[in-house]
Amino acid sequence: MNEMEVLDIARDAVMTMLIVSAPILLVGLVVGLAISIFQTLTHIQEMTLTFIPKITAVCAVAIFTLPWMLRQLTEFTERLMDKIVALG
């Protein structure tokens, strides 16, 4: 195994991680931004107001995208195992 193969595996792992985590992170970002704008406009500075909608939205997206996430991780694992078999 040379350096290019190691870099290829690392690049594939990082891209898979970014692709799998992107929906949850983006929903958390959008909901957090919307709540922050709402708090700024209404001058409500309650810290617990941000947690419940964010947790609810993130959990809903996680449940909704879980089959897709598992498929992405399974495909990555299969690619990794194919590379391991090709080395042996």
Give pLDDT, residue 1.
74
Give the mean model confidence (pLDDT) for residues 21-27. 96
Give the mean model confidence (pLDDT) for residues 18-22. 96
How do residues 67-78 score in pLDDT, each as one tens digit?
999 999 999 999
Alpha carbon distance 69, 55 (integer Å):
19
Residues 6+ apart with CB under 8 A from 45: 39
Give the mean model confidence (pLDDT) for residues 53-67. 96
